[in-house]
Structure 1
Amino acid sequence: ASSTAIYGSRGANGVILVTTKRGKTGAFNLNYSGTVTFEKIHDLQPSMSASEYITWRRWAYHNANPQNYSPGDQPNREQDNTIFDTSDVTAMNNLRKGWESGTWDPSKVTDTNWTDLVSQTGISQEHTVSASGGTDKMKAFFSIGYLNNEGTQKGQSYERYNFTTTVDITPINWFTLGGSVNTAWSNQSYGYSRTGQSSNSGPAEIYNAAKAIPNWTMPYDENGAIVPSPGGINGVYTVLDEWKYSNDDRQILRLLGNFYANFNIGEMWKPLDGLNYKASFGSDMRFLRQGIYLDQKSATRGGGTSYARWDYNRKFSWVLDNIISYNKTIDIHKFDVTLLHSASQYNEERARMSEENVPKASYLWNNMGAVSVTDPSAKVGISTGLTESSLVSYGYRLNYSLMEKYLLTVSGRYDGASQLAEGNKWAFFPSAALGWRMEEESFLSDVDWLQQLKLRAGVGMTGNSVIAPYATLGNIRSNYAPFGGKSDILFYVPNEPYYWSENVLMANPLLGWEKTTQWNFAVDFSVLRGRVSGSIDVYKSNTKDLLMEMRIPTITGYSATMANVGKTKNHGIDISLQLIPVDTRDFTWTSNLNAAWQKDEIVELAYGKSDMVDNAWFIGRSISVYHGFESDGLWQESDAAEMARFNENGEKFSAGMVKPVDKNGDYTMSEEDRVILGNRSPRWTLGWSNTFRYKSIELNIEMNGRMNYIISTGGEAQGAAANQRTIDYWRPDNTNADYQKPIYTGTPGSSLDPYSGLLGFKDASYIKIRNISLGYYLSEKICNRLGINNLKVYGQLRNPGNIYSSIDFLDLDLGESVSFYNRGVTLGLEISF
């Protein structure tokens, strides 16, 4: 608690300390490391095969209209002409091949795996050369690196150059000057993009687009021409060669700099021995240029006009610290005093231009002035933006040690944040901690197996001001409608384009700091000559004046405002263990285990002890929970009487649909039947790494996991208007299924089972092997003969898979919606001269 509180508001979400490689006094060293990686996409949600999809869609039509359509396992040729009626003649001809013999033969239908058409083996190589060395007067480190990656999706690539230099100069014994500069330039091509057609554009876009195409459709027609809209499904386009007509390129230049000057005043003048002044300055500058171009030949533009967009983004932040420290030892008393002044600033500038009807494809986004701003067909859009924020801090810290056994730390920070309202920008965050090195006590001096036993206790306060800059000023959103003008708005007439502004966020002149007070008690230990060591930290925290967006009555003219509302509490335990289970001459096994458990709870909300159901916030429960109806599986034919009672009250239940739990037993699903389904954040977070070394061979296995929480996968709509991943769905001969029966809707993503989403709430616990690496170190004897310091060759399995996962169709380590990821092998070489 105390160690975090010294960072004040910057420690609100924890503290990560980053160190930079620096040169060392001694001989000059030259190092090289290089890797080559081969990866392929591992898909946890493969699409239904052509045969599976056809049967599934037949069932959907039957379930929607059983009088006119046969069950899915009883194919009917005439009905298929209706069920699969589409403007895509090639797909229909493929389907009809299954009826060529007069009876249905699914093996005759070509099965197109669309994801295979857009994926490839990704090959990446990375090379780094570094050099370091120095004297007592000067130490330096230099590094240059190159990375080239050809993605696992066609049309994608990533290239990066980076350079790092670190220099420390000590011209005289009382002065040191140093700094480091890290420069990186990268060019990433996302390939296929749907920007301008869809808001869902990103690095996985082309693979997702391929997954949206049913496997019974065909990529080419009988003349070898590309089918532009396979299956004739609205919003579904071909992905073949789309990377030739679609570009989404992003170039990033990033400059990181850290510089310092240290004055040992005590060395300058002996009466001030122990006094030190250090000034440090860190900066982070990032330039982004994004260019997007969609040719009119691309399927997403549908043969219409071309589209281009140019984005510019510049971010610059800096931190300046002035630190005065003084340490003094008087007999058995040791003092260390630190005074701090810190200032930081963040500045972001952005601009965007977009247009259609680009005269030449070769222009891409590089000639945005080629069209007239006043040309309505060009649909020119221009926007700019600026965001600034700053933070100023004053702080102190006092460390006191008695006989190197009894420790005391007292600290405090006074922080001011520009984002907050006038009169509420500043707050004070104090902390204190006690420590006891018990291994130094005489009564433990004869305990040979104990090397360290330290008790720690602390209390401290941190602040959170992380809200959007200008949030205290409120927000107004501009809107544009190309048609449908409102006749009751001055100067606008029906069916004409019009603009209007909408109040979104009401200003709050009282918005201040969110404050958290935390207590902790910990023990650090090392026993059995270091074979077992670690720490156990128990903590409890109370947070008040939470920064939240709160809904307010629309009579105010706004829908919400940022406010300091409510209180929460949190408690947990962090455990870290370092073990050496086996340590012999030829074989060593080291193991590192980290485990954390936490539980949070809402104590008070905007209206005191009253729940805020619309936000799913409940007194006495976690901040992040799911609230809704429970599922009791699926309705069966044997439930006909019970279904009838619900249907009398407006439901439309039938066998095979999702069965919600009626908590109050009134045969009506209402708000009274909603319950808290579970926590959205994991209670347990685990990490475990093991290293086994036998002579010159080293094996390393890294694992992690999260336990005791749920996520919503969304369920399966099964409207049968779009493609479908392979699932176990209900049928009369498969009543113990995972998902409900399909019911045709005609609209992609929609469902006629209003409770289908309930089947998406699932336990998300998992334990995963992230990496397995096997390396070989060249013996010292051979290295000496070759004139090198050391050499290591190794191979690594990346993302090999799960040991356990309660959801087998998602990789929960990478995200709650990640259904495919790269899995591969890395070969590496490290050599030092």
Structure 2
Amino acid sequence: MRKLQIKDLVVLLCTTFILCLASTAGYAQTRQIAGTVTSADGPVPGASVSVKGTTNGVMTGADGGFKLSVTGNPTLVVSVVGYVTKEVEVGSAGVYNVTLVSATSNLNEVVVVGYGTTRRKDLTGAVGSVSSKQIEQVPVTSVDQTLQGRVSGVQVTNNDGAPGASVTVLIRGVGSLGSNDPLYVVDGYPITGGLNNINASDIASMDILKDASATAIYGVRASNGVVIITTKKGTRNSVQVSLDAYGSIQSEPKKYDVLNASEWATLANNTPGFTRLPEWSNPSSLQNINWQDEVYRQGVRQSYNLAIRGGSDKVLAAFSAGYFDQKGVVTGSFFKRMNMGMNIDYNATKWLKSSSSAKFSRQNSNNPFGTGALATLSELIPTMQGNKLTNLAKDGNGNYGYYDPINIYVKSWNNPLYQIETQDTKNLTNYFLGTTSLEATLLEGLKIKTNLGINTTDYSGYYFTPSDTRSLDQYGVASPNQLSTYSQSANNTYEWLWENTLSYSKTFGDHSIDFVGGVSQQKNTFRQVGGNGNDLISDAIRDLSQVKNLVAFGNQQIFTLASQFGRINYKFKDKYLLTATVRRDGSSKFYQGNQYGIFPSGSIAWRAKQESFLKDVTFLNDLKVRASYGEVGNQAGIRPFQYLARYSSGGPATSGTNVGYPFGGTYQNGLAYVNLDNRGLTWEKSKQTDIGIDAAFLNGDLSVTVDYYRKDSKDFLLQIPTSSQSGVTQSAQNAGSIRNQGFEIGINYRKTVNDFTYGLGLNVTTVKNKLLSITQTKNFIGNLVNLTTPANGWQEFSRTNIGQPVGEFFGYQSEGIFQTQAEIDALNAKAPDGHYQGNDAQPTVPGDRKFKDINGDGQITADDRTSLGSPIPKFYGGFNIDLAYKGFDFNAFFYGSYGNKIFNYQARNLESFQAPGFVGVQNVSRVYAENAWTASNPSNRYARVNYNDDISANNVASSVYVENGSYLRLRNVTLGYTLPGAISKKMTLSKVRIYIAAQNLFTITKYTGLDPEIGQATGTDPNNNNSSASNATASGIDIGTYPASRFYTLGLNVTF
């Protein structure tokens, strides 16, 4: 029976493709009416114009026009996503022109929710929306970047400025120490990961489900919120061809102000205890090299998107193709994407219809330095060794300057320009998402639907370094004849989804009911294979078969999800609303007995404006009070079969290319027990409460939404230390709980006066986050950021304590600089071991930092470390201005956060003459060199220049480097002009718009680093045996990532 059903679906899909090329005849009706649907921006193509209470309807064409056969004098319902639905009474006239108002700030807009749609005024949950117009205002690489500052409760942070880099999206705070990513649903298909593969020009709307009432229908994947993406469909009885193209210039980013060659050599010569190279003794003779100037360049970005949308009474078809190419401001960095999309809707009969969708993308990217490595450009010594072929970064003959690897006085002799130009990297990804559905109307209001989808991702990549690359490890071990290296990997993710739903809608008297229920099955298979080695037979033949010391690896993960779900909406007299939702999920990630969970939610709403005592309040157009409660889950951060005991062939004895376990002086192959089983392991759970108010004033021009939310998440996953008698060090356990609570405020105003339209939008979100409990012997979760320094207590940059926010910065509280030896002696005299700070090997001297004795024991130890501030903002939000006059349009969009702190790790590095964690020395910031403490310049902020910084206390994690991270940024500004319709028609075009735009024009901040928009670093928890810790516990640490910079864009939109 199943084979027959799949065969029928394939035949129907093929028939749909054939029918989209055929024309169909219309049906004879009593009379035909016509009209045009427009908005403040011009014609509105793709709007639905239907006779109320029937299935008789059409879609507007490219020029907004429509023709519809009607009987009698019915009511027309005109609707399209992003605009207020409008009803028009049909009289004796034959032409009806309709003007729609943007629904950006209106309660009547059409909203897409899980497995259905509704009007905003009928919502009982917290749902925000981003329209296609808002998406198109900001040129972006990834769709999720357009969410920044658009919707309250949604915090978007750009982790990196590299082409194609990911962003962090948090909906209502950090609720997990594992994955905090929301679930994305694209045309009904739930996907995980970012949205780099989806073309922004194809999107009609994005709806963000924030509370449990709205998200519970997605059950175990809904704890972090849900983003529903709807792509554009075809247009009825017309053909619309559109071309969107733009080109951008990206300016070079801000750079660290560091010393030039002469200044640095002078500093080195005057630094006590440092043994310098002879050539540095004459600073003025040195060739200066600014490594930031050598590597940075002007970036270029271009994008082209072609779309064809059309159809008939039976078939709607949309096809799109796009190309995106960005060359970043770092030499060698790029991101390229080619994408294609298709949507076909076929009305086979009045009771049967089908829909098919396909999206394909191919990406290629490169970031030569990787996240955080760009910081080393500012730290490298600004000169090259003089006795080589050249002392330039690169001369006209192609020779590169460098330092001898045997020289242990230099942090790194490697030439970054050589690194970029000789190494070879490929990162290629192919992505496909396809869905097909069949829907039958069994009775009036009763529908059954089946939906089948496939989602695949194929990645292949390699990394090659030639045989003459030189490198030096942090302990000064020389390797002048570095062998060539080559690594290669490939992985594939294949996923299928099959869902069947039954829906029923009925209005009887004052009562209205909508129901949807269904079953879902999904299977995900991930496979990875790869290897690495060195000493290739020939650098020209780059293949794993040519390497020596080959180390191979592989991985496979399979999990399934079986679900049943249902939701019922009830409405009485259009003013009392109730929603009840439940989902039951069964996940193969967990052991029998813990595989199934039930996730219920309920919400109510009261449309107070419909009451008689508010009917005559003319300035108030709508007022709704709502409340919701529900439970949802999160399994994204949990690997399949993580509840089982695990063995490893590598483990702690892995060293370079030697994999296995040491025995008899050599490494032997074998397996070792590394993790205890825990068959009680389960998903993370979240209990969410929301109370909200939606109001509309001044004929709907002004809308206000206010929400209070509280989200209590428990059972997050953590590696907990175990008894040494077990033979392993840790076990995965559900270990604690986190609370997020706060307020969301959204205010939108839009008004049209004659030919002038103006709009203002503001959204603000407050968030208070704290760890409620943790199941382990210690009442905190530490985080050792995995950078360059050894794993010791001095380098624990953040710590999460019970009752405090996740990822608080952690270190010593500075009290300035020791100015005199007498001051030091007085404190040493009271110290138990004779040293208030430091020890016999490294005694404290004037010019060293002075730290606060927090516990009052008379000396500075690791126990004196304390919380130094949180990277989580007290509030964040966005503000936008929209203006339109005749053919001109203007938009300005601001985004900012307030109350968060940043750990300026890069400032710490540039205040260290000796590179932290290394033997050699490095460049320093100009402000440090000019203001460092000396007897004649007794600074109270900058410590003395010291060759032994790495073992002194002057560069440890302390309050010195924790700064105010608040900022306000002009994210985007756009000015456009649309040619008058008469001119466009003479050019045989429907619409022509040209625009200029700029991104990141200015930022207001007190932060001294390059960019206050700091994402998440990678960390480990030293208190849990260095097991992996969440990125959420390492937020706000500025490790010198690829910086953001300005874009200047010229674009063209043409509709044929």
Fold match, TM over 0.5?
Answer: yes
Q: Does 1:631 align with 2:814?
A: yes
Unaligned ranges ≥5, structure 2? 1-211, 472-478, 784-798, 915-920, 1017-1035
2:705 to 531, 535, 547: 535
- In structure 1, the residue matched to 2:1049 is 826
Q: CA deviation at 1:35?
A: 1.1
Q: Does 1:722 align with 2:922?
A: yes
Cα distance, 1:294–1:525 mapped onto 2, change above 3 Å = same
Q: Does 1:809 align with 2:1007?
A: no
Q: CA deviation at 1:434?
A: 0.5
Q: Write out per-residue CA displacement over residues 42-78 of structure 1, whole angstroms, 9 at most, x where no aligned residue.
A: 034243222442344345x23xx5xxxxxxxxxxxxx
The code of the aligned residue for 1:743 comes to N
Q: Does 1:656 align with 2:847?
A: yes
Cα distance, 1:694–1:457 mapped onto 2, change above 3 Å = same
Cα distance, 1:731–1:739 mapped onto 2, change above 3 Å = closer
Please show how residues 159-558 of structure 1 align to structure 2 within 5 Å: 159-190=336-367, 192=368, 202=370, 207-208=374-375, 210-217=377-384, 221=389, 225-229=399-403, 232=407, 233-266=410-443, 273-300=444-471, 302-365=480-543, 368-370=544-546, 378-466=548-636, 467-477=638-648, 478-479=650-651, 480=653, 492-494=663-665, 496-499=666-669, 501=671, 503-558=673-728
1:85 to 277, 297, 304: 277
Aligned-pair identity in percent equals 23
Q: Does 1:766 align with 2:942?
A: no
Cα distance, 1:244–1:677 mapped onto 2, change above 3 Å = closer
Alpha-carbon distance in structure 2 between the residues aligned to 1:806 and 1:482 = 40
Cα distance, 1:756–1:649 mapped onto 2, change above 3 Å = same
Cα distance, 1:31–1:491 mapped onto 2, change above 3 Å = closer
Alpha-carbon distance in structure 1 between the residues aligned to 2:752 and 2:606 = 31
Larger CA deviation: 496-505 vs 398-407? 496-505
The code of the aligned residue for 2:780 comes to M
- In structure 1, the residue matched to 2:984 is 783
> Any idea what SS the aligned residue of 2:876 has?
strand
Contact 2:385 2:403 in 1 (8 A): no
Alpha-carbon distance in structure 2 between the residues aligned to 1:335 and 1:809 = 55
Q: Does 1:612 align with 2:780?
A: yes
> Any idea what SS the aligned residue of 2:292 has?
helix
Contact 2:400 2:418 in 1 (8 A): no
Q: CA deviation at 1:295?
A: 1.4
The code of the aligned residue for 1:667 comes to G
Q: Does 1:597 align with 2:795?
A: no
> Any idea what SS the aligned residue of 1:439 has?
helix
How many residues matched? 768
- In structure 2, the residue matched to 1:128 is 305
Larger CA deviation: 754-763 vs 317-326? 754-763
> Any idea what SS the aligned residue of 1:41 has?
coil
Cα distance, 1:508–1:662 mapped onto 2, change above 3 Å = same
Contact 1:320 1:342 in 2 (8 A): yes
Q: CA deviation at 1:178?
A: 0.9
Q: CA deviation at 1:31?
A: 0.4
Alpha-carbon distance in structure 1 between the residues aligned to 2:292 and 2:776 = 51
- In structure 2, the residue matched to 1:792 is 993
Q: Does 1:30 align with 2:241?
A: yes
Contact 1:809 1:819 in 2 (8 A): no
Cα distance, 1:303–1:700 mapped onto 2, change above 3 Å = farther
Q: CA deviation at 1:687?
A: 1.6
Cα distance, 1:303–1:675 mapped onto 2, change above 3 Å = closer
Contact 2:269 2:276 in 1 (8 A): no
Larger CA deviation: 221-230 vs 684-693? 221-230
- In structure 1, the residue matched to 2:1019 is none
Q: CA deviation at 1:328?
A: 1.8
Q: Does 1:19 align with 2:230?
A: yes
The code of the aligned residue for 2:760 comes to S
Q: Write out per-residue CA displacement over residues 196-229 of structure 1, whole angstroms, 9 at most, x where no aligned residue.
A: xxxxx52775x55543422133697459643233
Please report the RMSD computed on the Cα atoms of aligned residues, expressed in angstroms.
3.0
Alpha-carbon distance in structure 2 between the residues aligned to 1:571 and 1:216 = 52
Q: Does 1:141 align with 2:318?
A: yes
> Any idea what SS the aligned residue of 2:1010 has?
coil
Alpha-carbon distance in structure 2 between the residues aligned to 1:490 and 1:16 = 46
Alpha-carbon distance in structure 1 between the residues aligned to 2:865 and 2:224 = 32
Contact 2:813 2:958 in 1 (8 A): no
Contact 2:835 2:859 in 1 (8 A): no
The code of the aligned residue for 2:912 comes to Q
Q: CA deviation at 1:805?
A: 4.1
Q: Write out per-residue CA displacement over residues 406-452 of structure 1, whole angstroms, 9 at most, x where no aligned residue.
A: 01111111111222222111111111110111122222221221111
Larger CA deviation: 715-724 vs 296-305? 296-305
Alpha-carbon distance in structure 2 between the residues aligned to 1:152 and 1:521 = 46
Q: Write out per-residue CA displacement over residues 684-730 of structure 1, whole angstroms, 9 at most, x where no aligned residue.
A: 12122222334433222222122222232333361431233444342
Unaligned ranges ≥5, structure 1? 66-81, 87-91, 99-105, 193-200, 267-272, 372-377
The code of the aligned residue for 1:331 comes to G
Cα distance, 1:509–1:693 mapped onto 2, change above 3 Å = same
The code of the aligned residue for 1:596 comes to T
Contact 2:966 2:1012 in 1 (8 A): no
- In structure 2, the residue matched to 1:673 is 864
Please show how residues 688-767 of structure 1 align to structure 2 within 5 Å: 688-714=879-905, 715-716=908-909, 718-720=912-914, 721-728=921-928, 729-732=931-934, 733-736=936-939, 738-745=941-948, 753=954, 755=956, 757-767=958-968
Alpha-carbon distance in structure 2 between the residues aligned to 1:705 and 1:430 = 35
Contact 1:656 1:731 in 2 (8 A): yes
Alpha-carbon distance in structure 2 between the residues aligned to 1:474 and 1:593 = 51
Alpha-carbon distance in structure 2 between the residues aligned to 1:4 and 1:799 = 33
Contact 1:485 1:492 in 2 (8 A): no
Larger CA deviation: 6-15 vs 689-698? 689-698
Cα distance, 1:390–1:738 mapped onto 2, change above 3 Å = farther
Runs of 4+ in 1 over 6 A off after TM superposition: 482-486
> Any idea what SS the aligned residue of 1:472 has?
coil
> Any idea what SS the aligned residue of 1:381 has?
strand
Cα distance, 1:805–1:472 mapped onto 2, change above 3 Å = farther
Alpha-carbon distance in structure 2 between the residues aligned to 1:243 and 1:617 = 38
Alpha-carbon distance in structure 1 between the residues aligned to 2:857 and 2:366 = 57
2:259 to 39, 44, 48: 48
